[in-house]
Amino acid sequence: MSARTTQRRIASAAIAATASLAASVAATLPAAQAAQQGPATALAPRLHATATIALGSTTNIFKNIFTQAPDRTVFFSRGSVVYVQKAALAPQIALHAGRQVVALAANSTDLFVQTGLTVTEYNRSGGAKVRHWQLSSPRTPITIARLIAVGHTLWSQTDAGTDTTGALPAVVTRISTTSSTVHVVSRKANYGPLAANSGGLYFDNMRTPTTEDLVHVSPAGAVHKRAARVNGLMAIGGGRLGVLFFHSGHLFLDSYSLSSLARLSSARVSSRDRDLAGTGLGLLVLNTACSQLTCASATVSKLAFSGAVTGKLTTPRAFSLLNGPQGAVVTFSSGHMSLVRLGA
Higher pLDDT, 26 or 53: 53
pLDDT at 39: 43
Classify domain 10-40+62-272 at the CATH class level: mainly beta
Burial class (CB in 10 A: 0-12, 13-18, 19+), 119: buried
Q: How far is CA 114 from CA 199, 257, 310, 340, in A?
A: 23, 31, 36, 25
Q: For the chain, which residues make up each domain, given as ranges?
A: 10-40+62-272
Residue 37 confidence (pLDDT) above 50: no
Encode pLDDT of 245-273 as tens digits: 999 899 999 999 999 999 999 999 999 99
Encode pLDDT of 70-87 as tens digits: 999 999 999 999 999 999
Beta carbons within 10 angstroms of residue 8's beta carbon: 23
Burial class (CB in 10 A: 0-12, 13-18, 19+), 23: exposed
Work out the average pLDDT over 189-199: 94
pLDDT at 177: 96
Encode pLDDT of 156-172 as tens digits: 999 986 544 555 799 99
Work out the average pLDDT over 99-121: 97
Query: Please, are residues 248 and 267 in contact by the beta-carbon 8 Å criterion?
Result: no
Higher pLDDT, 116 or 21: 116
Residue 31 confidence (pLDDT) above 60: no
